[in-house]
Amino acid sequence: MSRAGSQEGTEIAKTTTNTTPRWEELLLRIRPIVEAALRGGDDAADLRDLRAALTGTHPADVALVMEHLLPPEAALVLAQLQQADEATAAEVLDELTPALSRYITDRASAPAVAALLDRLPMDDAAEIVSEASPARQEELIDALQERAPEDAAEVRELLGYTEDTVGRLLTDKFVRLSPGQTVDEAFAHIRRSDPDVETVNDLYVVERAGEDERLVGVLSIRSLIRAHPDTVVRAIMTKGSELVTVSVDTDQQEAARMISQYDILALPVLDRRGFLVGIVTIDDMIDVLVEEFNEDYLKLVGSDADEMDRKTPLQVAKLRLPWLVGTMFIELFAGVVISRYDWVLKEVILLASFMPVISAISGNVGLQAAAIIVRGLDTGHVSVGNMGKAIRKEVLTAVLMALACGLMLGTIGAIWSRRPTFGIVIGGAMTASMLTASFLGTAVPILSKRMGFDPATSAGPFETAFQDVIGFAVFLWLASLLLPWLR
């Protein structure tokens, strides 16, 4: 092999075997520069190196790097990137977590932030603005007004819709067709359309109604490509009852479910009078689903990071304390049960060794069931109407797990104590406790939903508390019945 060929092979091998993510390589490269700059070095050559390293890097990688830096360091990175490539800096700002985005936008000058907002689709710009404090929101919109009055007006309009509704995510940048156009005319119209349109996968057929637009059909680009050039759009568009639309007041999660249900890439959005005002696209819906999943998971364990970050310590305490106090009082009943049967524990002290095991295993079963039901309520697979079906399925699953775990722990207890009856008590208590936990983990979220509470917040604490009360009661009651054979 020639030397050149050998070098080429070496380079290919390096590329193939290098498994370090790009963002980690960038982090290692720029961190010393950023730290030195913040210490007061402010070496112009180093900052030029920083801008050079950031230029050409994917916005998602830069955003991930910034999340692994201290907030002041991240702010410096974005400021330097904005000097080098303002368009990429805008995309990076859009990729950041709400907490870091808020930190940067609160401290950067309003005109600098407005310059970045002006580069983004207005639904993304509105989301960034909405994460700032009310006073800061006005400053940012006023700065955007000076740069682009139409964009500022659009941001104000989007912020006028209720949070977490489709109205906050819509964009009016989409391709509009007329029902009387031919396929050839439609293609010519697409070529002349605004380059900033959100998508051309779906095309929207509209008729004017004064200042408003009425949606009369939807046409996919695939259908347009396959049609004869002289075919009229009206003849090949989806229309009437086949149209899938949402309102500006539709919940974002519901819109995401509809996109999944109908396998479409965008949804037309109608205002409260039934006129077309925009579309929401699948990329926004994916963001919604990821965000909602993370929020529900964190709420299930009693923590919502973004919400906590927005609130004062007093507000956080008021939000979390009621559920903890409720759990504490329920757990006191477990204490009452244990005190009622303390004579049993005094007689057979080995029983106390198994109580934490039974509590922990059954508690995890309940949390698993609650997580499954909360996720099902969120995605629409579980509802208050089919509560019986959901509970029946989860309890039947729990029966199999409870019998297996009960038999296993009972065998261990029998060998440990050298008494088969001890194993029966342990195994029976484990089985009963797991079944109870599974039932409560399934029923509590559904009942919470029916009563208007947030199931993700209430499910975990109440399930574990009730499970402890019932589990310990069954455990010690069985032990008291079989006490003569346990001594």
How confident is the model over 161-191, as pLDDT tens digits?
Answer: 988 899 999 988 899 999 999 999 999 999 9
State whether 194 and 315 are in the same domain: no
State whether 152 and 184 are in the same domain: no
Tens of pLDDT, residues 269-286: 999 999 999 999 988 888
Query: 215 falls in which pLDDT band (50, 70, 90)?
Result: very high
State whether 181 and 157 are in the same domain: no
> Is position 401 within any domain?
yes
Kindly list the strands in the beta sheet with 276-281, ordered across the sheet, starting from the edge strand earlier in the chain: 246-247, 266-270, 276-281
Higher-confidence residue of 413 and 311: namely: 413
At which residue do the structure tokens 């740069």 appear?
147
Amino acid identity of 104? I
- Report whether 366 contacts 441 (CB < 8 A): yes
Query: 349 falls in which pLDDT band (50, 70, 90)?
Result: confident
Check residue 11 and give its pLDDT: 44
**How many domains, the chain?**
3
State whether 242 and 333 are in the same domain: no
> Is position 74 within any domain?
yes
Query: 207 falls in which pLDDT band (50, 70, 90)?
Result: very high
Check residue 119 and give its pLDDT: 92
> End of a domain among 164, 184, 218?
164
Assign 465 to helix, strand or coil. helix
State whether 262 and 337 are in the same domain: no
The CATH number of whichever domain residue 14 belongs to comes to: 1.25.60.10
Check residue 421 and give its pLDDT: 83
> Is position 299 within any domain?
no
Kindly list the strands in the beta sheet with 176-177, ordered across the sheet, starting from the edge strand earlier in the chain: 176-177, 202-209, 212-220
Q: Is the pLDDT of residue 3 over 50?
A: no
Check residue 146 and give its pLDDT: 94
Mean pLDDT lowest among 31-45, 104-118, 399-413, 417-431: 31-45
> End of a domain among 248, 281, 314?
281
Distance, CA of 252 to CA of 231 (rounded, Å): 36
Amino acid identity of 41? G
**Enclosing domain of residue 349:** 305-486
Residue 293, Cα to own-chain centre: how many angstroms? 4
State whether 107 and 246 are in the same domain: no
State whether 268 and 328 are in the same domain: no
Mean pLDDT lowest among 54-63, 212-221, 431-440, 477-486: 477-486
State whether 342 and 208 are in the same domain: no
State whether 391 and 481 are in the same domain: yes
Closest CA to 235 of 246, 249, 224, 251: 224
> Is position 297 within any domain?
no
State whether 183 and 155 are in the same domain: no
Q: Which own/partner pairs from 405-409 qualify as long-range (CB within 8 Å, at least 24 positions apart)?
A: 405/361, 405/430, 405/431, 405/434, 406/430, 406/431, 406/434, 409/354, 409/357, 409/358, 409/361
Q: Is the pLDDT of residue 42 over 80?
A: no
Task: Write the CB contacts of 136 (distance below 8 Å, at least 6 apart in sequence).
Answer: 105, 106
Which value, in Å, is the radius of gyration of the alpha carbons in the chain? 30
State whether 157 and 193 are in the same domain: no
Tens of pLDDT, residues 12-34: 444 444 566 888 889 998 998 88
Distance, CA of 330 to CA of 277 (rounded, Å): 51
- Report whether 166 contacts 249 (CB < 8 A): yes
pLDDT more than 90, % of the chain: 34
The CATH number of whichever domain residue 450 belongs to comes to: 1.10.357.20
Query: 321 falls in which pLDDT band (50, 70, 90)?
Result: confident
The CATH number of whichever domain residue 200 belongs to comes to: 3.10.580.10
State whether 321 and 418 are in the same domain: yes
> End of a domain among 104, 134, 164?
164
> Is position 288 within any domain?
no
Q: Do the bridges between strand 212-220 and strand 202-209 make them parallel or antiparallel, or are there none, so unpaired?
A: antiparallel
